[in-house]
Structures are given as C-alpha cells and as structure tokens.
C-alpha cells in the first residue's frame, strides 16, 4: 500500500519542519503530502474524490457549555437461573435518540462507547471516575454523547429539527487486517443515508467462538486468557436528503522507540506522537476529520513491526500482555459534483489537553481516598474553555491504571501499557477526559489552579 493515501488529491511539496518541535499554525504549512519520516500507517478504502462540504474545524466554545449524557444499560429481567437480561446496545441507541428528540437545541460533538467496571452492577455509576478491578469483575458497556449548548439560550431562536443518530458495528473476521476491515465498512457506508459523525475502534471478547456486539453487561474472571477481536463502530446522522458519497479512512501514529523515557520502556510519550499526528493532519486536503482516538494494541516484542494491522489477539490473564497506545485519526472524504471546488485544508492546528479527576480526600486506615466525579471535571473544562476561547474538536474518555508501572509515573502520557501491576491484572483505574482542540489559544494565568483545584490532593 502506498505510504500516502492523498497522492491523487493534492500535489506533493517539501515540508521543512524539524521533528520534535510543536506543529506550527496550519497557515504556515504548504499544501502537500506527508514526508516519509512523518508517515504513520494509513488505511484507505477507495479512490480519491473531490469534496463539497466545508472542513471540520471544531466547535467554538464562546458562549457555549460542554456537557455529556450517559446511556447506561439497565436490568430488564432478573432470572433465577442463568444470566439476567439487560439493555442491548441497540436499546441504548434507541434511548439516546429519544433523548435527542427532547434536546434539539444541542450541538452534538462526539459519540463514544465507554466501558465501566466494578464488583457488581449496582456498584457502578457512570459519573464516577474511580473504578476497581477485582478477581471477578462486572463490566458495563454504555454510550456517552458529548455535546455543547448555549450558556444563555436565545428566546427568539427557532427550534431545530431533532437529530437522529444511527450506529453500525462491523467486527473483524478471523485473520482480517484493519485495512481489510475498513474496506468492508466503506462498502456499508456507501449504501447508507447518513453523514458520518464519528468512528471508533472497539474491542470485543470471543465467547464460545462467537461475538455479541449487542452485549452491554458481562462478568469475567480476569485471570482467564481472552481472545479479542476488534470492530469499527460508525455513528452517522440521518439526513433528509441523500448525502455525498462518503469514504472513511484512518491514519495511525505509532510510538517510536527512542529510548528517552525509562518509565515508558523507551517509547515516545503521547505528546511526542501527537506532535507528529498534528503536523500530518495539518497538511491534508479534501478531507473532513471526524475524531481522534487512543487505541491500545498488543505488541509482542520490540521488533514487532506489523502489530498495528492485527485485528485479533490473545490477552493473557496470568502473565503480562504488553500494549502500545496508538493515535488513530479518522477522516471522511465526501464525493461532490464534477464542478464543485475542492475542500480547503483546516486553518488551524490540532492540540490537546487532558483533565484528570482531583483527589478530594486523604486515604485513612478505614477509608479509601475519594476523587471528584466526571461532572466536576467537565465544569473545570468549561472554565478553561471560557478563559481560552479555544475551539473544541473532539473528546475522549481515558481509563488510566493508578498504581505502579508507567501510568503511575506518567499518567495519560504513557504509551507503553502492560496489562498487569505487581503480577495481577486487578487494580484501580482513574477515568480522565482528554479534549482535542483546533486552533491556537493563550493559556490563562490561572491554568494551574484549573487543572489542579485548591484543597485537593494530587496522587
């Protein structure tokens, strides 16, 4: 496969940007292709086409408030023998669309699959940020909508028509690569009637040689080995008129082994990988970027060069399985009419900020420390957005192991992620929120107090 998937969209041009420096604003970059030393692994499911829609350059936060809505599986039927019945993922999508009917004034930013876990179903609350894995753990897989609303609603503003979101999950076949899987996804998308909102890579466990993409609640003995298959999940917004023909692609940015960080086993930190991703994104034309995702992929050894293409793997329960966090940028190319102009490249640069839950109590001999919930974290994000006026591009919920290893030392900046701590896969996880921003902004003087509120404890 060609190292550059845009060669028939835009002419090549040299890029004189030193590696390791922050990406300059988009306006200073020439139009062209990604050079060899900046290319990640790319996947492309169709020929190059012109685009008619305007570029996606983010959501202006001025006068807007960020929020989220979780759709968590509920118990439908309790059985004396066998598994209880819970909402399917399709049930959650139905509830989500009913909710959207009552909230037509919001601006939907992203749709995200989130998996929470705990000892029992009753112990899990989606607003919590601290979760624990024990020997036997219950998992809840739900849906999270990120959206923005006006701080001061306009009384004269006409009500918008309710949005309808459709979700399509396409699982990998045995021995299939991500490139082949994306090709099948595009066959389905080309027949659809919706505009792609966001795309994500979701992992599923194979049980009795079958995969149930509708399952939202299950229990595991975490010491057991698990066979995992990946799937692409595509969220589309249904439209009255037929949208332009859409082709989804993605670009992977894999941490290089630079031997700079001992805590990260020598691999690049997240900021370093994002640096390369931002420069690559800045140079592309004719595409609409939808979202960015951190995808954890199994790596067997340092010399393993093709691990990012594998859609299946075995995660060992009684010994360590090593993962690398790969940045995956999703985009859409929309085919317009023959006389329509080509889409302009974005006019700003992509950056990110990670907001971590603050510890609000000290651990004692009888009580574990407490952390603020996700809504408090979002309140701090809103304050930061108001002070900076930054354009919000995408959102992501990041589970991070808290004790020992690279994540204890580096937090969400770690990209080398072993599956076990101290010889056990059990442990405590803190759910952080990462925001992706499109454009330059000025960090406010009180940024430190927003990131680490007073009277809190940094773990």
pLDDT digits (tens, 9 = 90+) for 260-292: 999 999 999 999 999 999 999 988 888 899 999
Cβ atoms 164, 103 nearer than 8 A: no
pLDDT of residue 157: 53
Please compute, for residue 325, the number of CA atoms within 13 A of its CA located in the half-sphere on the CB side: 26
CA atoms within 13 A on the CB side of 401: 21
Provide the pLDDT confidence category of residue 94 given band limits of 50, 70 and 90: very high
Segment among 212-216, 392-396, 419-423 with least mean pLDDT: 419-423
Helix H or strand E segment including 168: strand 165-171
* Per-residue pLDDT at 229: 96
Write down the pLDDT at residue 32: 35
At residue 60, the pLDDT reads: 78
pLDDT at residue 317 above 90?
no
At 41 the pLDDT is 61
Q: Is the pLDDT of residue 177 over 90?
A: yes
Q: What is the pLDDT of residue 339?
A: 41
Q: Model confidence at 42, in pLDDT bands (50, 70, 90)?
A: low
- Is the pLDDT score of 413 beyond 60? yes
Average pLDDT value for the chain: 81
Distance CA 210, CA 173 (A): 11
DSSP code, position 318: S
Q: How confident is the model at residue 242 (pLDDT cuts 50, 70, 90)?
A: low
The predicted structure's pLDDT at residue 404? 59
- Give the angle 211-213-219 at the CA atoms, nearest 5°: 75
**CA dist 43 to 53, 99, 187, 331, 429, Å?**
22, 34, 14, 10, 32
Please report the pLDDT score of residue 68 as a whole number. Answer: 98
pLDDT bracket for residue 84 (50, 70, 90):
confident
Tell which residue, 425, 230, 407, has the closest CA to residue 316: 425
List of E strands, 299-383: 312-315, 322-335, 350-355
Lowest average pLDDT, out of 23-37, 54-68, 153-167, goes to 23-37
135 pLDDT higher than 50: yes
Which residues fall within 8 angstroms of residue 380, CB to CB, at 6 or more apart?
355, 450, 451, 453
Q: Where are the beta strands (DSSP E) in 211-364?
A: 217-221, 226-238, 245-253, 288-298, 312-315, 322-335, 350-355
Which of the residue ranges 14-28, 68-82, 267-281, 299-313 would you say has the lowest mean pLDDT?
A: 14-28
User: What would the mean pLDDT of 115-131 be, rounded to a whole number?
Assistant: 93
């Amino acid at each position: 496969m060609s190292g550059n998937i845009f060669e028939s969209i835009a002419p090549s041009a040299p890029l004189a940007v030193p590696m390791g420096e922050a990406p300059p604003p988009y306006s200073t970059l020439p139009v062209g292709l990604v050079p060899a030393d900046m290319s990640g692994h790319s996947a492309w499911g169709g020929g190059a086409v012109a685009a008619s829609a305007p570029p996606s350059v983010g959501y202006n936060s001025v006068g807007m408030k960020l929020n989220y809505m979780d759709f968590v599986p509920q118990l439908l039927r309790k059985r004396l023998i066998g598994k209880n019945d819970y909402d399917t993922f399709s049930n959650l999508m139905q509830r989500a669309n009913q909710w959207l009917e009552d909230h037509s004034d919001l601006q939907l930013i992203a749709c995200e699959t989130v998996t929470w876990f705990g000892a029992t179903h009753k112990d899990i609350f989606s607003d919590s940020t601290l979760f624990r894995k024990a020997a036997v753990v219950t998992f809840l897989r739900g849906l999270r909508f990120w959206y923005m609303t006006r701080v001061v609603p306009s009384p004269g503003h006409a009500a918008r028509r309710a949005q309808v979101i459709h979700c399509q999950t396409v699982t990998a076949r045995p021995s299939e690569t991500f490139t082949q899987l994306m090709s099948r996804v595009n066959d389905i998308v080309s027949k659809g009637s919706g505009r792609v909102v966001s795309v994500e890579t979701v992992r599923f466990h194979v049980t009795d040689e079958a995969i149930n993409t509708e399952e939202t609640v299950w229990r595991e003995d975490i010491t057991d080995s698990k066979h995992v298959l990946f799937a692409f999940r595509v969220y589309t917004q249904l439209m009255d008129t037929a949208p332009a023909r859409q082709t989804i692609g993605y670009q992977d940015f894999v941490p290089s082994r630079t031997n700079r960080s001992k805590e990260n086993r020598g691999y690049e930190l997240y900021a370093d990988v994002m640096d390369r991703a931002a420069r690559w994104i800045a140079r592309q034309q004719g595409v609409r970027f939808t979202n960015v995702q951190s995808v954890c992929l199994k790596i067997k050894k340092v010399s393993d060069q093709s691990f990012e293409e594998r859609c299946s793997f075995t995660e060992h329960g009684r010994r360590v399985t090593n993962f690398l966090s790969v940045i995956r940028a999703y985009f859409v190319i929309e085919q317009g009419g023959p006389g329509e102009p080509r889409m302009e490249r974005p006019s700003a640069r992509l950056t990110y900020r990670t907001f971590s839950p603050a510890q609000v109590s000290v651990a004692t001999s009888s009580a574990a420390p407490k952390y603020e919930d996700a809504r408090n974290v979002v309140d701090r994000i809103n304050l930061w957005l108001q002070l900076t006026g930054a354009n919000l591009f995408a959102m992501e919920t990041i589970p991070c192991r808290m004790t020992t290893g690279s994540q204890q030392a580096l937090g969400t900046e770690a990209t080398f992620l072993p599956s076990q701590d101290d010889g056990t896969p059990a442990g405590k996880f803190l759910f952080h929120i990462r925001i992706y921003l499109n454009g330059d902004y000025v960090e406010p003087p009180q940024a430190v107090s927003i990131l680490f509120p007073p009277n809190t404890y940094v773990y």
